């Protein structure tokens, strides 16, 4: 029994180290290849400027909508080649009025933008499907209501898809945290986002040409979306769902690493918990839907993606929970042993196996620090002493929140399966 556990445990640790090393190596190669400076004040003209319909789904976003719309209207892209549709989706605040106020500003008089007050269902996916019907662009671009793009973001997204328009169905950029200095939570979220954008995305693109639509700051070929049936109405993570659909149709989602947008992240644990629980639950649903593709003739990219998600959300999560349980039990037994010497611990420290496990854990921890710091070093102004200490602390605090969130999401799915009802509501991320 203990032999089998040992084999399973060591394989799990090695697999997680191997996956991290592979992605990190891809990320490092990408960083070295793209270290040269881009003069953003003097960008060459594009081969052509396809018309783009930019869509902003907004549900009660009066606090942030004006900043986002203004940033979009100031994009470095010919005015007659893009239109902006702001969907005030089931709003009971002044989101639509805030957008209309911008119409009165002289600077935006000649811009092609309008606000559509929507009362339909389907959430964000429903909005995007509605936009598909009325848009006039060749590409559809999406920005969340809190995501203000940098002025060349659209230029870089279009430049990327034009590199191979037949193969690249979509291009996605990078998102940065604009409120990261608010508190400990936002600083940790910032570390996570920098790591995801600078290592995960670049590594997977560099090595496997795998990209995932991030929900905001991306453009997508309208015809291709229509051909795969649009967005999955009511999906909790419509971005992951459509990423899988695109890859199944043999298309690629290209990384345009210079297209940047600044978005607001949750500032309270409550807002964070609800947002991440929705994401985790949405991802579980997409994984379960796509699990069958591990064993059929679908593209190897789908298999790799499904395998990656299964490892992260199921296998490694279960392993962490079991190992934490054993660790706590061991501590309790050690306490009991001091009173009753006849009681033995589950795992005795000091044996060669325990030392080997400890070395592997230390390696994993060091790899985590290394990954974070390579990501931070490649991002302007992020590699600071303060951020280094945050990476240390976040491992034992923030990173552990994922376990709680994923257990809660898994439980919600199980409960819905057992009761046959869908209890989870689409919780709107609170703005500050």
360 binds another protein (CB under 8 A): yes
388 binds another protein (CB under 8 A): no
10 binds another protein (CB under 8 A): yes
The one-character DSSP state at 116 is E
Selected binder of another protein within 207, 374, 392, 401 (CB under 8 A): 374
Selected binder of another protein within 152, 378, 391, 406 (CB under 8 A): 378
E strand or H helix at 173, and its extent?
Answer: strand 168-177
Selected binder of another protein within 310, 367, 408, 413 (CB under 8 A): 367
User: Looking at beta carbons only, is 105 or 331 nearer to another protein?
Assistant: 331
Query: What whole-number distance in Å separates Cα of residue 137 and Cα of residue 31?
Result: 33
37 binds another protein (CB under 8 A): yes
381 binds another protein (CB under 8 A): yes
- Please give the order of strands across the beta sheet that includes 82-89: 113-118, 82-89, 52-58, 139-142, 218-221, 168-177, 252-263, 147-149
User: Looking at beta carbons only, is 6 or 389 nearer to another protein?
Assistant: 6
CB-based contact 201:211 (threshold 8 Å): yes
Burial of 323 (0-12, 13-18, 19+ CB in 10 A): middle
163: tokens are: 């590199």
Reference 365, options 330, 392, 338; nearest CA is 392
Selected binder of another protein within 366, 388, 389, 411 (CB under 8 A): 366
What CA–CA distances, in Å, run from 24 to 172, 175, 206, 241?
A: 20, 19, 11, 25
Contacting range for another protein; rule: CB under 8 A; set: 19-27, 282-290, 315-323, 404-412: 19-27
Selected binder of another protein within 23, 28, 193, 254 (CB under 8 A): 28
Contacting range for another protein; rule: CB under 8 A; set: 173-181, 281-289, 292-300, 373-381: 373-381
Reference 103, options 93, 111, 91, 94; nearest CA is 111
Query: What would you measure as the largest C-alpha separation in the chain, in angstroms?
Result: 84
Query: What whole-number distance in Å separates Cα of residue 316 and Cα of residue 320?
Result: 6
Phi, psi of 93 (to 5 degrees): -125, -155
Query: What whole-number distance in Å separates Cα of residue 146 and Cα of residue 61?
Result: 8
Burial of 78 (0-12, 13-18, 19+ CB in 10 A): exposed
Residue 30 beta carbon to another protein: minimum distance, rounded to whole angstroms: 11
Contacting range for another protein; rule: CB under 8 A; set: 129-137, 212-220, 241-249, 350-358: 350-358
Selected binder of another protein within 93, 192, 289, 383 (CB under 8 A): 383
Size of the site for another protein (CB under 8 A): 36
User: Looking at beta carbons only, is 275 or 387 nearer to another protein?
Assistant: 387
- What lies within 8 Å, CB to CB, of 98 at 6+ separation is 62, 65, 66
Per-residue binding letters, 399-428, with another protein (x by CB under 8 A): ------------------------------
Selected binder of another protein within 8, 134, 359, 414 (CB under 8 A): 359
Reference 287, options 263, 264, 311; nearest CA is 311
User: Looking at beta carbons only, is 134 or 356 nearer to another protein?
Assistant: 356
User: Looking at beta carbons only, is 35 or 339 nearer to another protein?
Assistant: 35
CB-based contact 82:54 (threshold 8 Å): yes
Reference 22, options 307, 317, 214; nearest CA is 307
6 binds another protein (CB under 8 A): yes
Residue 140 beta carbon to another protein: minimum distance, rounded to whole angstroms: 34
356 binds another protein (CB under 8 A): yes
Selected binder of another protein within 7, 318, 328, 393 (CB under 8 A): 7
CB-based contact 235:127 (threshold 8 Å): no
249 binds another protein (CB under 8 A): no
56 binds another protein (CB under 8 A): no
CB-based contact 389:261 (threshold 8 Å): no
User: Looking at beta carbons only, is 240 or 371 nearer to another protein?
Assistant: 371
Contacting range for another protein; rule: CB under 8 A; set: 2-10, 121-129, 246-254, 416-424: 2-10
353 binds another protein (CB under 8 A): yes
Q: How many other C-beta atoms lie within 10 A of the C-beta of residue 28?
A: 18
Residue 249 beta carbon to another protein: minimum distance, rounded to whole angstroms: 35
Query: What whole-number distance in Å separates Cα of residue 394 and Cα of residue 392?
Result: 6
351 binds another protein (CB under 8 A): yes
Half-sphere exposure of 33 (CA within 13 A, CB side): 12
207 binds another protein (CB under 8 A): no
* Positions that interact with another protein (CB under 8 A): 2-3, 6-7, 10, 14, 17-18, 21, 24-25, 28, 31-32, 35, 37, 347-348, 351-354, 356, 359-360, 363, 366-367, 370, 373-374, 377-378, 380-381, 383
């Amino acid at each position: 029994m203990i032999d089998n556990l040992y084999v399973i445990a060591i394989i799990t640790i090695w697999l997680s180290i191997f996956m991290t090393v592979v992605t990190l190596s891809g990320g490092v190669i990408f960083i070295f290849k793209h270290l040269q400076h881009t003069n953003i004040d003097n960008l060459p003209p594009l081969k052509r400027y396809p018309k783009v319909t930019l869509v902003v789904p907004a549900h009660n976003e009066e606090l942030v909508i004006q900043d986002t719309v203004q940033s979009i209207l100031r994009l470095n892209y010919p005015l007659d080649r893009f239109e902006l549709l702001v969907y005030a989706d089931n709003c009971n605040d002044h989101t639509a009025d805030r957008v209309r106020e911008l119409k009165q500003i002289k600077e935006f008089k000649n811009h092609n933008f309008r606000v559509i007050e929507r009362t339909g269902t389907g959430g964000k996916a429903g909005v995007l499907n509605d936009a598909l019907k009325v848009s006039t662009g060749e590409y559809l671009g999406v920005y969340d209501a809190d995501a203000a793009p940098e002025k060349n973001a659209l230029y870089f997204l279009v430049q990327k898809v034009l590199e191979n328009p037949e193969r690249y169905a979509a291009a996605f950029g990078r998102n940065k945290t604009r409120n990261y200095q608010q508190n400990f939570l936002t600083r940790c979220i910032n570390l996570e986002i920098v790591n995801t954008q600078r290592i995960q995305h670049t590594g997977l693109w560099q090595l496997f040409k795998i990209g995932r639509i991030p929900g905001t700051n991306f453009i997508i070929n309208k015809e291709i979306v229509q051909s795969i049936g649009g967005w999955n109405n009511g999906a909790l993570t419509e971005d992951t769902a459509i990423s899988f659909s695109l890859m199944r149709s043999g298309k690629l989602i290209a990384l345009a690493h210079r297209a940047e947008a600044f978005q607001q992240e949750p500032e309270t644990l409550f807002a964070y918990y609800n947002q991440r629980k929705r994401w985790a639950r949405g991802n579980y649903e997409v994984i379960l839907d796509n699990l069958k593709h591990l064993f059929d003739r679908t593209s190897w990219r789908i298999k790799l993606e499904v395998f990656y998600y299964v490892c992260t959300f199921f296998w490694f999560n279960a392993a962490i929970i079991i190992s934490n349980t054993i660790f706590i039990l061991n501590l309790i037994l050690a306490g009991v042993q001091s009173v009753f010497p006849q009681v033995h611990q589950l795992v005795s420290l000091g044996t060669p196996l325990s030392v080997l496990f400890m070395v592997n854990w230390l390696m994993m921890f060091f790899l985590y620090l290394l990954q974070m710091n390579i990501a931070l070093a490649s991002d302007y102004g992020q590699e600071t002493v303060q951020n280094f200490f945050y990476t240390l602390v976040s491992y034992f605090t923030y990173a552990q929140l994922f376990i709680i969130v994923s257990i809660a999401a898994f439980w919600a799915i199980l409960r819905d399966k057992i009761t046959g009802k869908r209890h989870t509501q689409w919780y709107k991320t609170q703005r500050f």
